[in-house]
């Protein structure tokens, strides 16, 4: 959508001093007490723009455990009850296929919405959300982590400075083998988890698409896509095996962008990949290029005057739950800190020492939403 990346850019540039002296504080309900939401509860709780955090989960024992762990006094086992409460906003961290309907219900109830990716499972749901935001003037934000990946931040800076020149081509990948997803899907999907695990890869392209379009501010205008028909014995992909009758575990799309460039997106769930991060890109312009692979990143220019390895500049030191440093591939998703290219100064002082994740993005996403 043409306005999506521009909106995120405006949020990212929102000056931090505007929060100083502000007396308006929100109450926010966090929905879905899975592993991912636990990365965000402490951040919403400690943000100076938040008055109260309320939790919501259909499993009462899990809800009570999280209320105790995070010092939260209020909770609901019904999403409908949460929407009828006095919270100003809801943050949705439930299963992928529930995001669209829950966002629509929250907007109908007059609540601002933060949603984990993806936005929804159909064009109709996405259109409904966009139309409701236009009508109600409420805020909807899809919390795309790769917008704040160090590589994306680096490329955005250099693109705005004109160092790339005119954009010509980029490729971005989300390489995450299904075997790494087994436990999370089993935990959230129960006995029928395979029916949900077989989601078409291109229903979840936000990590890779965002890396490119948030740099240029353009949008995709044409697309051609091919899929790999899965043959794995786990029986997740195939006609009749999942809710979408989807046979493809890997999909690769070639896109034309509105600025005249070309973008290739790879979404792969059956792939022998175990690099530093499952999301990465390379970005090419007429004057300069950024290239990234499993172990390194580099910048180069047409005149050959600027060729350097920038792997260290983009590294996020990762820590485990006890604060000990761990290897990037073991901890980058939920416990990473910041890179040299992150603007730590714009974050609230109360975030210091709080959890971060997905290559330093979580704290910026929470800050964006609360400021907005």
Q: Which of 252, 248, 204 is nearest to 230 (CA)?
A: 248
Given this model, what pLDDT does residue 357 score?
87
Residues of the chain where predicted confidence (pLDDT) is lower than 50: 1-21, 325, 327-332
* Calpha distance 242→199 (Å, rounded): 7
Given this model, what pLDDT does residue 326 score?
53
Correct CATH for 146-314 of 3.30.360.10, 2.130.10.10, 3.40.109.10, 3.40.50.300: 3.30.360.10
* Calpha distance 248→201 (Å, rounded): 8
Q: How far apart, in Å, do the first and last CA atoms of the chain sit? A: 19
Q: For 29-47, how does the pLDDT look when each residue is reduced to its tens digit (9 = 90+)?
A: 999 998 889 999 999 999 9
Residue-wise over 134-147: b if at least 16 C-beta within 10 A, else e? eeeebbbbbbbbbb
- For the chain, the structural domain boundaries read 4-143+357-371, 146-314
Q: For 92-124, how does the pLDDT look when each residue is reduced to its tens digit (9 = 90+)?
A: 999 999 999 999 999 999 999 999 999 999 999
CB 13 within 8 A of CB 76: no
Given this model, what pLDDT does residue 319 score?
54
Given this model, what pLDDT does residue 6 score?
41
Given this model, what pLDDT does residue 320 score?
55
* Calpha distance 88→195 (Å, rounded): 34
CATH number of 4-143+357-371: 3.40.50.720
- Residue 71 DSSP label: T
CB 27 within 8 A of CB 86: yes
* Calpha distance 278→260 (Å, rounded): 28
* Calpha distance 149→290 (Å, rounded): 14
Please list the residues that pair with 279 across neighbouring strands: 174
Given this model, what pLDDT does residue 4 score?
43
């Amino acid at each position: 959508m043409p306005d999506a990346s521009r909106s995120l850019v405006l949020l990212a540039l929102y000056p931090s001093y505007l929060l100083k002296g502000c007396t308006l504080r929100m109450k926010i309900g966090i929905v879905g007490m899975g592993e991912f939401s636990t990365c965000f509860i402490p951040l919403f709780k400690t943000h100076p723009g938040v008055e109260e955090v309320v939790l919501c989960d259909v499993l009462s024992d899990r809800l009570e455990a999280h209320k105790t762990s995070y010092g939260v006094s209020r909770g609901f086992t019904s999403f409908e009850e949460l929407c009828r409460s006095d919270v100003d906003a809801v943050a949705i961290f439930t299963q992928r296929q529930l995001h669209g309907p829950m966002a629509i219900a929250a907007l109908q109830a007059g609540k601002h919405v933060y949603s984990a990716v993806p936005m929804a499972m159909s064009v109709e749901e996405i259109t409904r959300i966009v139309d409701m935001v236009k009508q109600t003037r409420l805020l909807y934000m899809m919390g795309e982590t790769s917008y704040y990946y160090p590589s994306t931040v680096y490329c955005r800076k250099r693109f705005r400075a004109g160092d790339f020149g005119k954009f010509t081509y980029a490729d971005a990948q989300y390489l995450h083998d299904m075997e790494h997803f087994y436990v999370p899907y089993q935990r959230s999907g129960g006995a029928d988890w395979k029916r949900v695990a077989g989601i078409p890869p291109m229903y979840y392209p936000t990590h890779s698409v965002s890396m490119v379009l948030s740099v240029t501010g353009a949008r995709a205008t044409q697309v051609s896509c091919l899929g790999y028909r899965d043959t794995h014995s786990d029986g997740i992909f195939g006609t009749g095996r999942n809710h979408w009758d989807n046979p493809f575990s890997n999909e690769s799309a070639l896109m034309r962008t509105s600025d005249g460039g070309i973008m290739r997106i790879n979404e792969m769930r059956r792939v022998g990949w175990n690099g530093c991060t499952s999301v990465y890109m390379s970005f090419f312009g007429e004057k300069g290029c950024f290239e990234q692979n499993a172990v390194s990143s580099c910048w180069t220019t047409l005149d050959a005057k600027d060729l350097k390895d920038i792997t260290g500049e983009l590294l996020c030191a990762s820590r485990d739950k006890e604060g000990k440093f761990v290897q990037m591939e073991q901890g980058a998703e939920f416990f990473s800190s910041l890179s040299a290219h992150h603007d730590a100064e714009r974050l609230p002082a109360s975030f210091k020492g709080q959890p971060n994740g997905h290559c330093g993005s979580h704290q910026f996403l929470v800050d964006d939403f609360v400021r907005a």
